[in-house]
Structure 1
Amino acid sequence: MNKGGFSWKRLSGISGAKANVSRKIGIPLTKSGRDQKIGRAVSKGCMGSLTIFLISITTLIFYIIKNF
């Protein structure tokens, strides 16, 4: 882990350019950034929808079994 200090990448503008590209395309250029973005998408979108779907299917199955 870097504790600060001089950076050639910051001086040359590479870090800023990468940050700008990443913001424009909407995809993080670092592995950890991509992992975090995927994790947020799964926990909010897909898993929420999947949970609601499974609860509704389970409720439907119990309703059908109860009425037989």
Structure 2
Amino acid sequence: MGKGGFSWKRATGVTKTKQNFYRKTGIPTTRSGRQRKAGSTMRCATFIILSILMIITLILAIL
């Protein structure tokens, strides 16, 4: 079997509350989850900004 044991967080419902909060809001409740989501958002924003700058550069080069 697994390496189970008693968890006071599961017994009091903290784990389920955190899971429900994440599912409804999309905001991670762990530190690593927040860091991962922030990094993903920054990569996406960087790609969009670079794409816009390239389009502006191409338009200015044509004019």
TM-score under structure 2 length normalisation: 0.67
Superposed CA deviations along residues 8-67 of structure 1, whole A, max 9, x for unmatched, are 1122221111111121122112221111111112212x1111111222344455x37xx8
Aligned length: 61
Partner of 1:24: 24
Identity of aligned residues (%): 38
Bigger radius of gyration among the two = 1
In structure 1, runs of 5+ residues without a counterpart are: none
Structure 2 unaligned spans of 5+:
none
Distance 1:25 1:57 in 2: 35
CA RMSD after TM alignment? 2.4
Runs of 4+ off more than 6 Å = none
